[in-house]
Amino acid sequence: MRALLAFFGVLHLALLAHDATHLERFVRADRAEQRMGVIESFVAVLRDGGSLREFLAGHGVPGDWLPQALLYGAGGPLFVIAVQVALALLSIVWVHEIAARVLPGRAALAAAFIYAILPHSLALPHQLTSEAIFVPLIILSFRLAFGAAPGLALGAAALIRPVVLLWPVICAWRTRAGRGRSAAYLAAALAPVLAWALFMLAATGEFTLGKAGHDLGHNLYQRMHRMAAALPEAERPARRPPGETTATLGEYLRFVAQHPAAAVAHGARDVATMSVKSGIERLVMDKFDWFAASRAGLQDPAKGWRARVESRGPFAVALEILREEPGLILVSGGAAALFVAFMALALLGAWDWMRRPAAAGSEARRTRWLLLAFVVYVFATAQAVDAAQSRHRAPAEFALAMLAVAGWLRLRQKKKRPSPSRDWALAGNSRLT
């Protein structure tokens, strides 16, 4: 494990040295420029003695920007990256420790290596993105098993992305870890969220986690209109003026009930994106600035690759990009092929774990169940954003790495198992001798 950690430590230090000479690429993540604007305003409030309470209450959930704002104020962008890299390296250690509960011998080390080499694991710590802090907190909660400590890690993660709020409830319901431990786990997970909601109640008069242009209501509104783009004009919901572009969960569910085919098609595109797209573009385009001429156009939320796929289909868009940037198709296509193989192994590993209970005892069985359930949870909750991207899969990639190794072990066992014809031949030979 030390050699593995040293290797990735040197690799991330080299990437950090590259960051130092290309700081403008730090804000190429999704909503990074918007987040940087909030961070700089927060630092100005601290410097000039403005109303901290008013600022905090007016900028959504605090975890989306506050941890990085504090780091930025303490040491600038390179300090933010350095702390995120440290969390990424700790995550490799934690993944190895979790994998050791459910995988035999050196297979746990293989799972840690696979997780560490995935594009998101390499790229996200070097960007101003919420995943750089959110994902390590999720992994830490699994590393700490069950009780108050993992609950606190999940509560902190929920203040970055509230979509994880239901997960501790599911865990407490299914793990049966004892009434006392379950209560401590749930209380610790919900305490940070409840404390923030009470602060918002005192500051704004509303019991909420905060409103922002990327909250659930805005995502549901945008998702509804993305689905509606495939419908006749008369069946599309009316566009709302700026400042009112939000939808309630009831409005969204009614739309889905009225147009199930459009909803299923959009959900299928989400699942396909999260299952096929590797995320290699985070490195080659955002970090190293390859294919710079096409980057802005492909990543544009309104007219980029996802919007084109929704309007013209994946094959037409792939041919279009092949004409524009053949090198990008080769890089992204090759990485996608490898990632599809990775996901296929993960599916095989999941099937094997479901069919054969762990022989190592109750802790291994419980950890396996949690890993499987969390992958499903991440894919399911990604349906709440307007259009899922590969980065929405990042919180589950540590679990997928373990499942992929389990799938590989299952394949090896099948290859080693003698075929019936070979068994018969061996038996015949023994009788002849």
pLDDT in tens, the chain (433 residues): 899 999 999 999 999 999 999 999 999 988 899 999 999 999 999 999 888 999 999 998 999 999 999 999 999 999 999 999 999 999 999 999 999 999 988 999 999 999 999 999 999 999 999 999 999 999 999 998 777 899 999 999 999 999 999 999 888 776 655 566 778 889 999 999 999 999 999 999 999 888 877 788 888 999 998 888 888 888 888 888 877 788 888 999 999 999 999 999 999 999 999 999 999 999 999 999 999 888 888 888 778 888 888 888 888 888 888 888 899 999 999 999 999 999 999 999 999 998 876 554 677 888 899 999 999 999 999 998 888 899 999 999 999 999 999 999 999 887 776 655 444 443 444 443 3
Residue 388's CB: how many other CB atoms inside 10 A?
24
Looking at the domain assignment, is residue 215 inside a domain? no
Looking at the domain assignment, is residue 102 inside a domain? yes
pLDDT, position 366:
86
Looking at the domain assignment, is residue 330 inside a domain? yes
Report the C-alpha gap between 115 and 169 in whole angstroms. Answer: 27
**Shared domain check, 117 and 27:** yes
**Shared domain check, 136 and 14:** yes
pLDDT, position 174:
63
**Shared domain check, 56 and 10:** yes
pLDDT, position 23:
94
Report the C-alpha gap between 113 and 94 in whole angstroms. Answer: 12
Report the C-alpha gap between 295 and 379 in whole angstroms. Answer: 26
Strand, helix or coil for residue 105: coil
**Shared domain check, 21 and 131:** yes
Looking at the domain assignment, is residue 384 inside a domain? yes
b (16+ CB within 10 A) / e for 187-202: bbbbebbeebbebbee
pTM (2 decimals)? 0.91
**Shared domain check, 266 and 393:** yes
Looking at the domain assignment, is residue 424 inside a domain? no
Whether 39 contacts 69, CB under 8 Å: yes
- H or E element, residue 278: none
Residue recorded with tokens 């019991």: 207
**Shared domain check, 154 and 138:** no
**Shared domain check, 308 and 356:** yes
Looking at the domain assignment, is residue 401 inside a domain? yes
Q: Which residue blocks in 215-325 are alpha helix, DSSP H?
A: 216-228, 249-258, 260-276, 281, 292-299, 305-312, 314-324
**Shared domain check, 155 and 116:** no
**Shared domain check, 190 and 66:** no
Report the C-alpha gap between 406 and 404 in whole angstroms. Answer: 5
**Shared domain check, 404 and 269:** yes
Domain that holds residue 277: 2-143+259-413
Looking at the domain assignment, is residue 104 inside a domain? yes
Instruction: List C-alpha distances in Å: 370 to 167, 172, 375.
Output: 10, 11, 9
**Shared domain check, 115 and 157:** no
Number of folded domains in the chain?
2
**Shared domain check, 32 and 22:** yes
SS3 content of the chain, % helix, strand, coil (to 5): 80, 0, 20
Looking at the domain assignment, is residue 426 inside a domain? no
